Amino acid sequence: MADRVLAVRGPRSLLRQIREAMAGGGPAQARLDMVVRTIAQSMVAEVCSIYLLRASGDMELFATEGLSPDAVHVTRMKSGEGLVSEIVRLGRPLNLTDAPLHPKFSYRPETGEDPFHAFLGVPLLRGGRPIGALVVQNRTARVYGDDEVEDLQTISMVLAEMVASGELVGLTELQDVELAPHRPERLKGQRFAEGLAFGVAVLHEAPAAPEKLLTDDAAAEEIRLQISLEALRRQIDEMLDGHSLVGVPRDVLETYRMFAADRGWNRGLEEAVRSGLTAEAAVERVRSEQRARLSQARDPYIRERLHDLEDLADRLLRVLAGETPGKRILPENAILIARNLGPAELLEYDRTKLRGLLLEEGSQASHASIVARALGIPCVGRLARLRDRISEGDPVIVDGEQAEAFLRPRADMIESFRARADLRAQRYAEFAKLKDTPAITRDGDKIKLLMNAGLAVDLDNLPQTGAEGIGLFRTEFQFMVAEQMPRLSAQTELYAKVLEAADGKSVVFRTLDLGGDKVLPYIQADREDNPALGWRAIRMGLDRPALLRLQLRALIAAAAGRELRVMFPLVATVEEFRRARAFVDDEVAWARRRGRPAPDPLRVGAMIEAPSLIWHLDALLPMTDFVSVGTNDLMQYLFAADRDNPRVSDRYDPLSPPALRALKAIGDACKESGTPVSVCGELAGRPLEAFALIALGFERLSMPPAGIGPVKRMILSTDREAASKGVAGLLKSGGGSVRNEIETLARKLNVAL
C-alpha cells in the first residue's frame, strides 16, 4: 500500500511540495537536491536521480537521493551507454523489475547502486527532445504500475521546464546542457526551387508556449479543455463544409477530424489535466510523448501520422489561446520552416522579407513548390525531423542548388555561402545580358523559349526573362487562393490582365486542372483511393459543364477580339477532346449572338499527359491547333510511379530510353502532321534535359522563369545536328538511364550546361 502513495495523492500534491521546497531559495544545487529528495519520499522510493544530457552526448548525474552524493557531476554515461542513455534514445519510459539484468545496464561503482533492482526511468522532454532522465529505484524487485509511470511523466515534464528556465540548475551548469539544438547541422533533402538564401528561421504557425503549467482547479480546467476540444471539432467541420484554409487537401482535414475525435488522444489530455496540468501544458505533454514515441517508428505511414497529430495539437493550442489565424510579421531575411505548406498559406507571408523555405515534407510538384519557384523563393524539402532540429531565430542557409540546408552554420560556412551567392549573381547577370538575344543554336535553328505562369506576380517576370510568351498559364491558382468560387467578372479580369501584360506575345491558358492533389473546399469531391488516376482535370470539367463553360466564357470575354489560345489538361481519349472543343464552339457562338467579339484567331489545343494518346495521335492531331507535352504527368503515368511519393519518385529517369522514345514519337507525329508542339513540364527548364529535348526535335520549350537564362545559354552553345545524331544513338540503349551518356555528349560538344 505504501508504494501507492503518489498514485492516491496524485502528482499535484508532489508538484506543490516541490514548489514550496524551492520557495526558500538557496543555491541551485541545493534546490535540485531538495527536488529528488521530495520525489523519493512521495513515491516511497529508495533512490531518485536526475540526469541531464550534455552537448557532448553524455548523460551526467546532476542530483540524487539514495545513491552516493560523491557521484553527482562525476558519473557520466556516454551516448548509447547505460539505462539512462537508453531512455533518451527511445524517448519513452523504461520500467524494469531487475535492472542489472538488462543488456544496457552499466555498473558504476562510485554510485553505490548495487542493492537496487527495481528501476523506473522517464525522459525529461522539452519540445519533444529528450534533455535528460528522471529515475526512481527500489531494492525489491517489482514492476511500477501504470499510474506511477503516468505520474512520473507528469512530474518530468514540469521538471524539464524548470531546468530550462534555470529554476533548478544554475546558469553556469546550463551552458553545456543540450536544452535546444545549438550545434551546426547539415541536412540533405530534395530541391523544390532553385536559389540560395541566408536568414533566420521562422517556424510556420508555431504555437505559443504555455506560460502556466499547473492549474489551481483541475475540474474547471477539464471543463475548459472540453469546451476547446468541441470548438476545435467545429472548426474542422467548418473546414470540411467549405471554409477551410485554401489548398489543404480534404483527406488531410478528414484525418484531423478523425484524430480530433480519437478517444486515446482525448483521454490522454483529460488525464493530464486531472493530474494538475493546465490544458496547454497537457497538450504539450501529450505532444511530446507522441513525438518521442512515433518518431522512432520504422513504418513511414506511422511517422506521417505524427505530423497530423502535431498540427492538431497546434490548432488546439490556438483555440485555447483564443487566437484566430492571420498574417505573421516576418523579420528581415526570414527563412520559413514548416512541415508542409499550401500555396495560399505561402502567399499569406510578406514576400519582400521571405528569403527561403525549408520543408519536412512536400514534393517538387506540390503547389507550394510551384508557387515558390514562381516567386523565386529557394526551397528545399524532404528534410527529416527538421522542426525538431531547429529553433525560432536560428541562422539558416538554404541551398536550393545542392538541395541542402545548413542550420546554425559556422562562420566559414557563411563566408563560403556568400562567395557562392556572389558567383550566382554574376551568372544571372550574364543571363540578363542574353535577355534580348534570340535562342538560336550554333547551326542556325531557332528555339522558342516560353514561360510558365499561374499567379499575377508571375507577369512581372515576362519582360525580365526575355521569354517570348507564356506557354502555360495555370488558371487553377486563382481558384486555390480564393475562399469561394471566383465569379465570372473576377476570372475575366485576371485573364484580361494576363493578356495585357503579355503585350501581344502569345499566352496559352490551360483550363482548370483540379482534382488529384488539388482539392478545393467549395467543390464537393468524393475521396478516391487513387486520385492521380481519378476524377480530375478535363474529366471534372466535362462532368461539370457549368464550371468549364463559365471559365471558357471568361476567357472569350477577356480576349475581346484578340488572339486566344486555350488548352485542355490530361486528355486521355480523342472523344474527351472532341467534347471539350464543342464547349468552346458553343461559347463562341453564345458571345456572337450577343454582339460580343469572338477571339481572332482562336487556337484550341490539348496537353499530352496520358500515354494512351501517344498511340492515337493520328486521330487527335487533325482536331487540334497545337499540342503541349506535360512531362510531369506523362512520366509518372508512363512509369506507373507517383512523382509525389518519395519511395518511387526516383525509380525512373526521364533521360532513359523509354521516356526519350515516347517523346520522340510525339515530336515525329506532330512534325508529320504540321501541328505545333511544345514541352511545358519541368524537364524544359533544366539545361541537360532541354539539350536532350532539342536533340529530339522540339523547338518550343515552356519553363519556370528561372530556367530561361540557363537554357538559352545552353542553346547558344549547342550544335543541334551533332546533338541529334548523338542522342539518336542512345535511344536503343538497354540501360535504365542514359543521363551520364547525354551529359558526356554535351561536354564533348562544348555545350554550356
**Mean pLDDT of the 221-243 span:** 76
Question: d(Cα 606, Cα 506) in Å, to the nearest integer?
Answer: 16
CA distances from 183 to 90, 150, 400, 406 (A): 21, 33, 22, 11
The answer to whether the CB of 180 falls within 8 A of the CB of 315 is no
pLDDT digits (tens, 9 = 90+) for 393-405: 899 999 998 899 9
Q: Which one is catalytic: 48, 379, 670, 680?
A: 680
The CATH architecture to which 185-205+331-412 belongs is 3-Layer(bba) Sandwich (3.50)
Q: What is the DSSP string of 652-699?
A: --SSSHHHHHHHHHHHHHHHHHT--EEE-SGGGGSHHHHHHHHHHT--
**Mean pLDDT of the 351-363 span:** 87
Q: What's the residue count for the chain?
A: 753
**Mean pLDDT of the 39-63 span:** 88
Task: Tell me the backbone φ, ψ of residue 573, rounded to 5 degrees.
Answer: -135, 155
Q: Which one is catalytic: 48, 204, 367, 670?
A: 367
pLDDT at 181: 61
Query: Model confidence at 169, in pLDDT bands (50, 70, 90)?
Result: low
pLDDT at 292: 67
C-alpha cell at 394: 536560428
Lowest mean pLDDT among 126-135, 299-308, 553-562, 706-715: 299-308
Strand order in the sheet with 94-96: 76-77, 59-65, 47-53, 129-138, 118-126, 94-96
pLDDT digits (tens, 9 = 90+) for 275-298: 888 888 888 888 777 766 655 544
pLDDT digits (tens, 9 = 90+) for 541-555: 898 899 899 999 999
pLDDT at 669: 97
Please say if the pLDDT value at position 249 is more than 60: no
pLDDT at 720: 96
Please say if the pLDDT value at position 343 is more than 60: no
Instruction: Tell me the fold of 218-321.
Output: Enzyme I; Chain A, domain 2 (1.10.274)
DSSP type of residue 167:
S
Question: d(Cα 663, Cα 39) in Å, to the nearest integer?
Answer: 71
pLDDT at 573: 95
pLDDT at 302: 45
| 700, amino acid identity | R
Query: Model confidence at 250, in pLDDT bands (50, 70, 90)?
Result: very low
pLDDT digits (tens, 9 = 90+) for 410-443: 888 898 888 888 888 888 888 888 888 999 999 9
How many helices (H) and strands (E) would you count in the chain?
A: 27, 22
pLDDT digits (tens, 9 = 90+) for 626-653: 999 999 889 989 998 876 676 776 778 9
pLDDT digits (tens, 9 = 90+) for 381-390: 999 878 777 8
Q: Which residue has the higher pLDDT, 141 or 381?
A: 381
- Hey, CA dihedral for 730, 734, 739, 743, is it positive or negative? negative
pLDDT at 582: 96
Q: Which residue has the higher pLDDT, 147 or 18?
A: 147
- For the purposes of burial, counting CB atoms within 10 Å of the CB of 707, is it exposed (0-12), middle (13-18) or buried (19 or more)? buried
Domain coordinates in residue numbering, the chain: 2-174, 185-205+331-412, 218-321, 443-748
Query: Model confidence at 521, in pLDDT bands (50, 70, 90)?
Result: low
CATH superfamily of 2-174: GAF domain (3.30.450.40)
Please say if the pLDDT value at position 658 is more than 60: yes
Q: Which residue has the higher pLDDT, 166 or 354?
A: 354
The CATH architecture to which 443-748 belongs is Alpha-Beta Barrel (3.20)
pLDDT at 294: 58
Query: Model confidence at 247, in pLDDT bands (50, 70, 90)?
Result: very low
Please say if the pLDDT value at position 83 is more than 80: yes
Residue that is written with C-alpha cell 512581372 in the block? 460
Please say if the pLDDT value at position 148 is more than 90: no
Residues 6+ apart with CB under 8 A from 227: none
Q: How many CB atoms lie within 10 A of CB 689?
A: 23
- Using a cut of 0.85, tell me whether the model's pTM lies above it: no
pLDDT at 134: 94
Can 680 be counted among the known catalytic residues?
yes
| 672, amino acid identity | E
Asked whether the domain spanning 443-748 has the same topology as the one spanning 2-174, the reply is: no
